[in-house]
Structure 1
Amino acid sequence: MPLDPRLRRYLDVIAFAGGRLTTIEARRTGLEGLGRLAGAPVPVAAVEDLILDGPAGPMAARLYRPRDETGAVLLYFHGGGFVGGSLTAHDGIYRRLAAASGCALLAATYRLAPEHPFPAACEDAAASLSGLAARGRALGFDPARLAVGGDSAGANLAAGLCQAARDAGGPAIAVQLLLCPVLDAAGDGESYRLYGEGHGLDRATLALDIASYAAGADPADPRLSPLRAPSLAGLPPALIHTAEYDMVRDDGAAYAARLAQAGVPVRHTCHPGMIHHFYGMGGLVPDAAQALDGIGAELSAVLAGG
């Protein structure tokens, strides 16, 4: 399918304005600006700021309740190349996903690179899961309906967290939701060559992000590259969503294939005509908002046993 014309115009504007962000400071500013593309905030019943205990100190989190009572909860990690992103920038995504799924959504934060290189974000993700598991019943959640998810770099953390929880024997995770996941620190598949320039996220930007985060770590470390884990057996069922014109599309497709080979239930959807971060562009492209609504409905069905 051709690239959505509204996204084509958006990419043309970016290119005209200078395109590539070559410093961490510029990258962070650009990531905050992406939040404006989500559109009008979707109403939810309640939003509550929480503090979770982290390995380096308190971690901010935000709980979205789509209605007064909900048993299911999604622990969600924002994207941003491991160097940026925030609760504020992703607010539109959190709200729409919570409303569409009917699940509460706990938006986690984590230490960012380069100030806090790998594996700081992984450690914070693990602490967020432990904190939610410990407080879940008090917050009204069913521990059997706890999902973990994220987008882009956040999906990397979510996938790695599922592997770590499997290896540690818990906490139990009912399903993993991965949106446009970055799963290989040295990714170089066909989609990287086809869409590594002029389609939003580009190779140079991702290379800057990975170098800032990895800080010389072995790219084969599964905590950095979940796609390279020796075994994917025993992982939670997975919902993986990729975009046709996304440079990291093949990361998600390859992970879905390996999960299926390992006997893990997996549903992989590649969204035609879309680019990286499409799920946060509902204010620009109504089809993207509808896609995120569909992702939420899919998550709801899986957590309900469908």
Structure 2
Amino acid sequence: MTEQQGYWIGEAGIPWGEAEKLKWRGAQQKKRSYEQEVLSKFSQVSESFEAQQYGELNYAEGQYPLYGFKSRDWDQAKPTILVTGGVHGYETSGVQGALRFLIAKAAEYSQDFNILVAPCVSPWGYETINRWNPEAIDPNRSFYGDSPAQESRALMQWVASCNLPLMAHIDLHETTDTDNSEFRPALAARDAKVQTNWNIPDGFYLVGDSENPSDEMQAAIIKSVGEVTHIAPADEQGRLIGEPITQFGVINYATKALGLCCGFSDARYNTTTEVYPDSPLVDDENCIQAQVMAVTSALDYIRSKELS
């Protein structure tokens, strides 16, 4: 990808203050409906799960109820897994993939797992197609104590209220061409820091936890997802988005240190998915299928490893 220069808000070398953040916020517009594209699908979810409103975002732009789904047959003896989508609201297949898993597949795993699904963690971001929340905060860098992001705080509190440790957390994401045309330039301007990574891998890949690697599970996911869509090849330096691969289609981050969603718990198994919906080799449906396959293959692996 070609590096983008400059941004329309702020001055080069000076981090944003409140005036710049308000200017950015005032330029955001609603482009799609959380109610129509997310909430309206809740009626399709199996009776095996109950909807729980775990919070509400109260912004000047409006109020957004936050919903998660929880297994009705909650059992202290079962391992608990969490699936999240829309931590970055603009990442459509993360939201729709979490919903599709919940509607079409989750009930098949209820006998073995307690299941939690938060399909759209950042609904304002979903509607305005944004990575940040209205306060120019990235929820996926804000999963830690005293988080400045309402979205992150609410999710962590809901999971904590279930009073069971997570065995696994699968966080569904995607990377689009707007990362380079909008979000990375905005980040560089907001923080007055030069962005050196402009690589967008063409295909599906995973981000694991360098402090808690799950290499075998990651390999199982990549193998299964490869039957649905293409896996992103490493670049000439053996890297994806500037990070060295640990195996085909996988890189690792220090997820807790970075405040990433998949690192906020002490889950034994965690991973973040990434698909590239702007690839000429995929369409929206293929991206959703890849997200669902990532979740089900992870659960199949954990079931065979931990429950057999």
Bucket of the pairwise TM-score, normalised by the shorter protein:
0.3 to 0.5
Richer in helix (by share): 1
TM-score (norm 1): 0.45
TM-score (norm 2): 0.45
